[in-house]
């Protein structure tokens, strides 16, 4: 009787052990599967993110190709309007001449990948504009001026000189008063179309490149910037922000050497750099910095170019992120 119970007991124990063993192997198997599936899921997720990024880049390049095609179509379409055609021709010519000049002037000794640098001057014209233009002319370099509206004779001549010397005349806003232009979409429209019509009247060229005051990422606009972006897109305008700040707008009063240094340490990070500088009478250091900045940029083989419709978009809020 006792033996029987003992036998029964050990059999029960054995069975329990077997069951435990089976449970363990099932659990281990399931565990292994869970690990394999998790690894697969992570791998697929990484792949998905990679593909999404790739798609984004493709979309970007499609959009820029479309933009160029549209521009060409526009140029071809306006052939009946003699004046306009000659303007867009001279624009294109100025652009290509600038590119050739840039390449010839740079002569990179080491054949590193081409580095494009776009010098941009905001808020002019000012007492410094002619000094800036003199330096650029002497160095045979084209740049971009994002101007505001002044109706005095000296300013009118400066707008004309910017265009005549092959630089890009970009729009920045007529008043540059944040509380006015960013009050409503209508206020913004009125300011921008006023500036465009004014510059067209003074120079004969209709500007299509612009920069939002404070940049597209400004935090002061009353209106959603995406709404303003949709508007400028609809008007056929292309806006540019910047990826390099010289620092001449900060409260810290940089010396010209420091401004050059600020630009040079950043410029090596990008294949396309849009450099933010200011053309106002208070910014003497900017004018002073210009010659050494150009020298040092050319030393590293950078091409110095004016912004045009083919320039890689540098935008804080990318236009293709706005539906
Ligand atoms: Zn500004």
Report CA(294)–ligand 1 centroid distance (Å): 22
The Cα 40–Cα 57 span in angstroms is 26
Global pTM? 0.66
Report CA(122)–ligand 1 centroid distance (Å): 5
Report CA(104)–ligand 1 centroid distance (Å): 32
Report CA(225)–ligand 1 centroid distance (Å): 16
Residue ranges of alpha helices (H) inside the chain are 2-77, 82-106, 129-139, 153-164, 178-181, 185-203, 225-234, 256-267, 284-299
Report CA(250)–ligand 1 centroid distance (Å): 12
Report CA(121)–ligand 1 centroid distance (Å): 9
Per residue, the 3-state secondary structure of 76-141, as one string, reads HHCCCCHHHHHHHHHHHHHHHHHHHHHHHHHCCCCCCCCEEEEEEEECCCCCCHHHHHHHHHHHCC
How far, in Å, are 91, 132, 215, 307 from residue 144 at the CA level? 13, 11, 15, 6
**What are residue 239's DSSP bridge partners?**
210
Largest distance between two CA atoms of the chain: 123
Report CA(177)–ligand 1 centroid distance (Å): 9
Report CA(123)–ligand 1 centroid distance (Å): 5
The Cα 287–Cα 127 span in angstroms is 11
Report CA(9)–ligand 1 centroid distance (Å): 90
Report CA(213)–ligand 1 centroid distance (Å): 5
**Per-residue pLDDT tens digits of the chain, which is 323 residues long:** 555 556 666 778 888 888 888 888 888 888 888 888 888 888 887 777 666 656 555 555 444 445 444 544 544 544 333 333 332 332 333 333 333 333 333 334 344 568 999 999 999 999 999 999 999 999 999 999 999 999 999 999 999 999 999 999 999 999 999 999 999 999 999 999 999 999 999 999 999 999 999 999 999 999 999 999 999 999 999 999 999 999 999 888 899 999 999 999 999 999 999 999 999 999 999 999 999 999 999 999 999 999 999 999 999 999 999 98
Report CA(257)–ligand 1 centroid distance (Å): 23
Report CA(172)–ligand 1 centroid distance (Å): 7
Q: Per the structure block, which two tokens stand in for 206? A: 């209709």
Q: Up-side HSE of residue 264: CA atoms within 13 Å toward CB?
A: 18
Report CA(88)–ligand 1 centroid distance (Å): 26
Report CA(192)–ligand 1 centroid distance (Å): 14
Apex 105 CA angle, 103 and 109, nearest 5 = 75
Report CA(282)–ligand 1 centroid distance (Å): 13
The Cα 109–Cα 34 span in angstroms is 57
Report CA(150)–ligand 1 centroid distance (Å): 14
Report CA(273)–ligand 1 centroid distance (Å): 18
């Amino acid at each position: 009787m006792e033996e029987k119970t003992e036998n029964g007991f050990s059999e029960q124990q054995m069975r329990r052990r077997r069951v435990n063993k089976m449970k363990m192997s099932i659990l281990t198997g399931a565990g292994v599967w869970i690990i394999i599936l998790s690894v697969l899921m992570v791998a697929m997720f990484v792949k998905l993110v990679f593909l999404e990024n790739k798609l984004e880049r493709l979309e970007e390049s499609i959009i820029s190709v479309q933009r160029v095609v549209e521009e060409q179509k526009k140029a071809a379409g306006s052939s009946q309007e003699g004046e306009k055609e000659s303007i867009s021709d001279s624009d294109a010519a100025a652009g290509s001449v600038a590119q050739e000049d840039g390449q010839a002037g740079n002569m990179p000794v080491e054949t590193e990948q081409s580095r494009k640098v776009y010098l941009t001057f905001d808020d002019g014209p000012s007492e410094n504009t002619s000094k800036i233009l003199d330096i650029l002319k002497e160095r045979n370099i084209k740049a971009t001026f994002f101007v505001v509206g002044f109706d005095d004779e000296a300013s009118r001549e400066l707008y004309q000189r910017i265009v005549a010397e092959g630089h890009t005349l970009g729009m920045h806003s007529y008043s540059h008063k944040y509380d006015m232009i960013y009050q409503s979409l209508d206020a913004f429209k009125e300011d921008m179309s006023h500036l465009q019509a004014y510059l067209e009247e003074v120079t004969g060229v209709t500007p299509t490149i612009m920069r939002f005051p404070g940049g597209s990422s400004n935090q002061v606009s009353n209106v959603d910037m995406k709404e303003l972006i949709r508007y400028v897109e609809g008007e056929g305008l292309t806006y540019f922000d910047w990826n390099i700040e010289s620092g001449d707008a900060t409260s810290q009063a940089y010396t010209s050497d420091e401004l050059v240094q600020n630009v040079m340490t950043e410029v090596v990070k990008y294949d396309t750099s849009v450099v933010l500088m200011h053309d106002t009478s208070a910014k003497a250091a900017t004018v002073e910095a210009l010659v050494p900045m150009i020298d040092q940029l050319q030393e590293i083989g950078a091409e110095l170019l004016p912004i045009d419709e083919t320039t890689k978009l540098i935008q804080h809020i990318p236009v293709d992120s706005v539906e």
